[in-house]
Amino acid sequence: MANAQPNTKTDADLRKDALAVLTGNRQGTYTVPAIGLYPYQWCWDTGPIVLGWASVGQWDQAWGELDKLFSAQWPSGMVPHIVFWEQSDDYFPGPEVWSTGREPPTTGLTQPPLPVSAAARLFDADPDRDRAREQIGLLWPRLVAWLAWIERARTGPHLAAVVVHPWESGMDNSPAWDEPLAATPEISNEHLERRDVATVSAKQRPSTKEYRHYLGIVAALRKAGWDTERQVADSPFAVEDPAFTAIMRRAASDLADIADAAGQDASDVTRIATQARAGLAGLWDEQLGWYRAFDVRASTPTGPPTASGLAAMFGGANHAHAHRMVDGLQAWSSAVKFSVPSSDPTDKSFDPIRYWRGPVWVLVNWLVADGMKLAGLEDEAETLRAETRALVEQGFPEYYDPRDGTGIGGQGFSWSAALTLDWLTKPDSTP
């Protein structure tokens, strides 16, 4: 990791700028990831976003966004990855492509259950204890139903969590998915009306070929009727994902930790946490020294070391494993200036500006730094925090080029701003 740069902005200034971004992306009761590029409510983005609102004392907004997301939960317990609250021409594929028949319209996939840990953090930190107990009481059955659905419908051969589409991982075009994605059907050209490349350079986004596969999987799941109990069988793509499993483990253990204080029963979440921990251990690759995805269809571990493996630390990975990966991360630093690149910079798949194939993401750094602390790597966590702070001083883009820290992708990105408020600056300097 690069040595931390001296701060050029005060915490107070940075907080003011971050809050302006979050406020600009707020659509009343929910906050979009970025105006134009992502005009709806996204599932795992809601986790960091509510932490950001809480950090500036906007507790009702924070709890309200979680409530809003869960109001779109499916009867099975699945929380959809996008909720299409408003009509927008800025995004493809929109509700008509998904055709899930839900009201409000949603996609038929999920994302890592990070909002669960965010709810637990809000419960711990809300100074109004009556509100905290009331809100967690209302959310509790919905939080547990989501985790129970993942356990029931998405447990893979190693007991890790299975994603049935790269979009479910949140790390869409990671090289970890290259092989399983190549084995899925492609839809034909005429259905492809990408809007993302109107605002962001195509070189910084997934390729058109990848999009054809993404939509091929959507078409297969749509044809199968969006039966969320059987998507692992219905999808041409099924992969056990370390980061998803780690976030699941952390979600369940965070709920177990607050269950007593919240007056709730911990038995389901304790069982789920134990299983997810075993699942994570099952994805450890001793030879590579990294947590690695497992392609369920091809029955083989897949892909180079990526940020998904590192984010396993957020789930409380085995300390010896965490230390080994952090040694590996130090070795990455000879190839790039800023950590954490989203994929191994020494691998041939690395692309420093293309989305999840190289760029640094603030959310990944937060997950990794938090996980480092769980593994007793306090100094490394602090170095990563300081380095991330240096990146956000130039603004809150979607991601950064790890070679020189240039901000790229969408601009005014909510989780970059929200985690600046919750993690990278001190709240007592709030303007």
Binding site for ligand GLC (CB under 6 A): 33, 38, 42, 44-45, 170, 172
Pick the closer one to ligand GLC by CB: 38 or 237: 38
Question: What DSSP character marks residue 422?
Answer: I
Q: Which two tokens stand for residue 177?
A: 């998915």
- Tell me the closest approach of the beta carbon of residue 136 to ligand GLC, in angstroms: 24
Q: Looking at 126, 151, 168, 172, which residue is catalytic?
A: 172
226 φ/ψ sector (left φ>0, alpha ψ -120 to 50, else beta):
left
26 closest CA partner among 56, 60, 63, 65: 65
Question: What DSSP character marks residue 86?
Answer: S
Three-state DSSP state, 124: helix
Is 265 part of the annotated catalytic residue set? no
Closest residue to ligand GLC, based on beta-carbon distance: 33
Is 387 part of the annotated catalytic residue set? no
The CA angle 276-242-47, to the nearest 5 degrees, is: 80
DSSP 232-259: HHH-S--EE-HHHHHHHHHHHHHHHHHH
Pick the closer one to ligand GLC by CB: 207 or 270: 207
Pick the closer one to ligand GLC by CB: 33 or 279: 33
The CA angle 162-366-247, to the nearest 5 degrees, is: 25
- Tell me the closest approach of the beta carbon of residue 43 to ligand GLC, in angstroms: 7
Asked, as a colleague might, if the bond just before 340 is cis with ω within 30 of 0, I would say yes
Q: Which two tokens stand for residue 263?
A: 């007056």
Pick the closer one to ligand GLC by CB: 206 or 236: 206
Pick the closer one to ligand GLC by CB: 123 or 177: 177
299 φ/ψ sector (left φ>0, alpha ψ -120 to 50, else beta):
left
- Tell me the closest approach of the beta carbon of residue 42 to ligand GLC, in angstroms: 4
Three-state DSSP state, 31: strand
Q: Looking at 344, 398, 401, 422, which residue is catalytic?
A: 398
DSSP 172-197: TT-GGGHHHHHTS----GGG----HH
- Tell me the closest approach of the beta carbon of residue 68 to ligand GLC, in angstroms: 16
Pick the closer one to ligand GLC by CB: 34 or 136: 34
- Tell me the closest approach of the beta carbon of residue 202 to ligand GLC, in angstroms: 15
- Tell me the closest approach of the beta carbon of residue 361 to ligand GLC, in angstroms: 8
The DSSP element (H or E) to which 27 belongs, if any, is strand 26-27
- List, by residue number, the catalytic residues: 172, 398
